[in-house]
């Protein structure tokens, strides 16, 4: 299955987190997604740097959308584990590149990398999603 940017951009725009954090799709591929999240006044922590929860959120959402490029926009999979290593403070907007490593019958493994506007690494994430039974998984399995 191949999903284009238009339905996923619409899906992202319909979410509270996408709108609140100003996320936008930069690039999509089969099992990949790059999102941009700006440094908003509402997402700054003391010292003017991007709050860590924004970096975690953009990694989760980029991975969620990368999965949808393969499994379709109705896929109901959910995050079961997300590990983040914060490398340095983000003082600008951030691009987050998510890549699926394995898309199994029950679990999806992925990595996501967040870089600031200078290309400096600010956070590295590993993620695991559970593929739950729903319309998309039933259609893929033929049940």
In this prediction, residue 99 carries a pLDDT of 98
Task: Judge whether 34 and 12 are in contact, CB under 8 Å.
Answer: no
Q: Give the pair of three-digit tokens for residue 61.
A: 């959402």
In this prediction, residue 6 carries a pLDDT of 81
Q: How far is 115 from 36, CA to CA, in rounded Å?
A: 10
* CA 64 and chain centroid, separation: 5
Positions of the chain with pLDDT lower than 70, given as ranges: 1-5, 134-143
Task: Judge whether 29 and 69 are in contact, CB under 8 Å.
Answer: yes
In this prediction, residue 138 carries a pLDDT of 53
In this prediction, residue 133 carries a pLDDT of 76
Domains and CATH numbers, the chain: 5-141 (3.10.129.10)
């Amino acid at each position: 299955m191949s999903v284009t940017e238009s339905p996923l951009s619409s899906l992202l725009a319909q979410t509270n987190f996408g709108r609140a954090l100003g996320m936008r799709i930069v690039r999509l591929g089969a099992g990949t997604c790059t999102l941009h999240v700006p440094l908003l006044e509402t997402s700054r922590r003391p010292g003017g740097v991007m709050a860590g929860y924004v970096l975690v959120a953009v990694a989760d959402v980029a991975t969620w959308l990368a999965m949808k490029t393969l499994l379709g926009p109705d896929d109901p999979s959910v995050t079961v584990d997300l590990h983040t290593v914060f490398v340095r403070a983000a003082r600008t907007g951030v691009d987050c590149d998510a890549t699926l490593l394995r898309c199994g019958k029950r679990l999806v493994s992925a990595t996501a990398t967040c870089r600031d506007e200078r290309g400096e690494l600010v956070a590295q994430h590993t993620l695991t999603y559970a593929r739950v039974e729903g319309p998309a998984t039933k259609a893929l399995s033929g049940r």
